[in-house]
Amino acid sequence: MAGNGPKLKNDLRVWRGMVHQKIPILSPVLFAATYIEDETAGVGTFCIRPDTLTIRYNPQFAASQTPETNAFILAHEAGHYLCNHIERRFAMMDREGKDVFDLQLWMVAEDMAVNEIVSSLSGWAVPQDTVPVIPQFAGMTTEQIYRELQSAIPKGMKKHAEGCRGCLDASGGRDGAKGDPSQDMLKSQIQEGANKEMGEMQKRGQLPGNMPGELKELAMRFAPLRRPPNWKEMLMRYLIAADFNCKHFDMGTLYKRRLEVDNLCLPNLSSSPAAKKFVVSMDNSGSVSDEMFSCLKGIIQSAATQLGFQEIIVQHFTSHVMVTDRVTTLKQVENIKRKADGGTQLEDCDAKAAGHRGQFHIILTDGYVEWLRAYSLPTIIVRTVKSTEEPLKVKNLIGSVVADADEAF
């Protein structure tokens, strides 16, 4: 370990200052980190270890680069930490299984997503011999880029997929510094600082609509929500906006124009049921326990009670729709039983839901699913297990909501 580089330490403050000026949302990470000059441990450039918030850097490499390049790489490391990439990496590994998960491809996706943040906010060019920002992946999160790379690796990216060692040190284990109160407190303070800066950036109009995918992820994660999204409220908004043929006087219709302009939400005051016929697809996969299945059934009861109905088509699905029930009373909802077992895919239940010609489709699942590019009719997905991967912006998706079984039902 080399500690006799006062010039480099001064330069480090310069690089950090450059990042602070261009990308202040990363400042809380860089000012809280511990820096170590290291040319003996195999650090080629810069490397961050999230569980200790330690940034190691090779002084020989840094001395050979321009200040802009060193600032870019420093910002890149901070981006990994702020985006919580180690935890998300292990989450994806759990979803796919260790034998299937492609670590090198995931690290390419991580680097590409972070480089988009740094490049778009700073205006600095992505350094040569690093993972480039590809226009076709602009606006995507790491998970979304990873899925795209699995389908087809763009020309010129193969070398990165084969040779990327990553700049994230995961040697602290998958749980990072869990159980370390000092690190938990530090992480909380960093997130609070980033949250404040995100708010300032929004006030200054610095977050364009077509922002980097990881920045959207941060904006959603740091959004000052006082309560989780109400999926029934989202459905009600959809129903009010779509109900143009009221047979009865409905005060809600007076506000349709306002709803379209500023998303004003008012309860549907129609004297007839808001929903006539809709489709509910219930996940019957092996990961859905009997207790969870009862929670999913409770969602149907809640929706039927609040939204009203004349007919509900209940599809029991795994990789395909296995059984379909027709429900016309609340008593029949109570008697819904599990009908299948297997994996989880949405394509078949989406296609069959369209055939029933309902007003909308509720998909109830216990967590991660492969997202469709477009849904056959207006759809809302209610998940009971949190997933870090959100669906792409797709046609006819009303929304995707994580519902807490202990609170929502």
Query: For the purposes of burial, counting CB atoms within 10 Å of the CB of 198, is it exposed (0-12), middle (13-18) or buried (19 or more)?
Result: buried
Q: What backbone torsions phi and psi does residue 401 show, to the nearest 5 degrees? A: -130, 140
The predicted structure's pLDDT at residue 219: 67
Q: Is pLDDT at 196 greater than 50 in this prediction?
A: yes
Query: For the purposes of burial, counting CB atoms within 10 Å of the CB of 213, is it exposed (0-12), middle (13-18) or buried (19 or more)?
Result: buried
End-to-end CA distance of the chain: 56
pTM of the model: 0.57
CATH class of the domain defined by 231-408: alpha beta
Nearest Cα residue to 401 out of 318, 331, 320, 303: 303
Q: pLDDT of 9-41, one tens digit each?
A: 678 889 999 999 999 989 889 988 888 888 765
Q: pLDDT of 265-317, one tens digit each?
A: 444 444 455 678 999 999 988 888 888 888 888 888 888 887 778 899 999 99
Cβ-based neighbours of 282, under 8 Å, separated by 6 or more: 293, 296, 297, 300, 314, 315, 316, 317, 336, 364
The predicted structure's pLDDT at residue 268: 43
- Locate CATH 3.40.50 in the chain: 231-408
Query: 402: pLDDT confidence band, cut at 50, 70 and 90?
Result: confident
Using alpha carbons, list the distances in angstroms from residue 30 to 93, 105, 177, 365, 388.
28, 27, 18, 39, 24
For residue 215, how far is the Cα from the chain centroid?
Answer: 11
Question: Which residue carries 């979803």 as its tokens?
Answer: 95
Query: 240: pLDDT confidence band, cut at 50, 70 and 90?
Result: low
Q: pLDDT of 135-176, one tens digit each?
A: 888 888 899 899 888 887 776 676 665 555 667 777 766 655
Cβ-based neighbours of 225, under 8 Å, separated by 6 or more: none
